[in-house]
Amino acid sequence: MNDKTPQILDGRPLKEAICNVLSSKISEKISVSSLKILPTLVIIRIGNNEASKTYVKNKIAFGKKIGGEVIEECHDENVTTNEIVHSIQIHNTNNSVHGVIVQMPIPVHLNQNEILNAIDSKKDVDGLGESSMYNLLVGKPSFIAATVKGILTMCREYNIELESKKVLVIGRSLIVGKPLALALINANATVTVAHSHTNNLKELVAQNEIIMIAAGKQNLVSKEMVHENQIIFDIGINRLEDDQLIGDFSADARKHVKAYTPVPGGVGQLTVASLFENLVEAYLKNS
């Protein structure tokens, strides 16, 4: 057990600070522009996933708060890939739209790659298209996936050094694990990636200084696996039967580490704020 009280890496004040910065940037731009166009994000939501509806609601609320506009475009569960791609192409050519995202997950019959790649890279504010991913791979400036950008912001704001640190990323999805691992390598961390076929997770957790967990498996990292010098970024979100949200890091393990992000109130707070940082960047560049 840790003698010192672990530090809680709270995402809320950072989200608030980003909100204020973005509001000021938008007001400034509007005050000098003759067209008075607001930064506009189109969110394409497909089907009836309840969690997705909540995530979109949060994005709309944040967009309003900073003085931007968010358009939710809803599609039926049975929509085709072609129909979504066609709709994206229309937004690509609309100068008053600065960002287009597709709320994940999408129904399995759809071609996710084709849909994400249809988004113009200048409007790919979720950073999930091939062009944005390639830029991340080669270390070129680009929109970075919002969750990853949020984690980098947390590290910067809480003075968590990544250079030469041993970091374990648990999860290898396109949305979190893979771009996170690349961003950490670009930040000069020594990165190990674990996933569902990894046999020695316990050993890997013990060997690393910073653990970033994005598996969506509650209690995946427990108190027996961690030690008092480790920093835990809990990215996982698991919804319990009573609708309570918990992460992948066991609650009773929190007091055994140096610092951790709570769920809720940690990384998730920064995900929405980072998406709008990308949107405002696109708006300032392209309007």
| Segment near ligand NAD (CB under 6 A); pick from 38-46, 58-66, 117-125, 170-178 | 170-178
- DSSP code, position 254: G
| Segment near ligand NAD (CB under 6 A); pick from 18-26, 108-116, 153-161, 232-240 | 232-240
267 binding ligand NAD? (CB under 6 A): yes
Supply the minimum distance, in Å, between the C-beta of residue 155 and ligand NAD.
15
Supply the minimum distance, in Å, between the C-beta of residue 35 and ligand NAD.
33
Residue 97 or 215 with smaller CB distance to ligand NAD: 215
Interface residue with ligand NAD, options 53, 122, 166, 195 (CB under 6 A)? 195
172 binding ligand NAD? (CB under 6 A): yes
262 close to 7: Cβ distance less than 8 angstroms: no
25 close to 285: Cβ distance less than 8 angstroms: no
106 binding ligand NAD? (CB under 6 A): no
178: left (phi over 0), alpha (psi -120 to 50) or beta: alpha
Supply the minimum distance, in Å, between the C-beta of residue 235 and ligand NAD.
5
235 binding ligand NAD? (CB under 6 A): yes
Q: Is 75 helix (H, G, I), strand (E, B) or coil?
A: strand
Interface residue with ligand NAD, options 177, 179, 180, 233 (CB under 6 A)? 177
**Which residue has tokens 């319990």?**
240
* Residue 276 burial by Cβ neighbours in a 10 Å radius (0-12, 13-18, 19+): buried
Residue 147 or 250 with smaller CB distance to ligand NAD: 147
201 binding ligand NAD? (CB under 6 A): yes
CA angle 194, 195, 196 (to 5 degrees): 140
Residue 131 or 238 with smaller CB distance to ligand NAD: 238
- Count of residues touching ligand NAD (by CB under 6 A): 25
Q: Which two tokens stand for residue 12?
A: 């809320």
Pairing of strands 99-102, 69-75: unpaired
Phi and psi at residue 10, to the nearest 5°: -80, 125
Residues from 236 through 265 that contact ligand NAD (CB under 6 A) = 236-238
CA 234, 237, 241, 242 torsion-angle sign? positive
Residue 87 or 271 with smaller CB distance to ligand NAD: 271
Interface residue with ligand NAD, options 2, 198, 219, 222 (CB under 6 A)? 198
208 binding ligand NAD? (CB under 6 A): no
206 binding ligand NAD? (CB under 6 A): no
Q: Around Cβ 177, how many Cβ atoms within 10 Å?
A: 23
Buried b (16+ CB within 10 A) or exposed e, 234-257: bbbbbeeeeeeebbbbbeebbebb
Can you give the binding site for ligand NAD, defined by CB under 6 A? 147, 170-173, 175-177, 194-196, 198, 201, 214-217, 220, 235-238, 267-268, 271
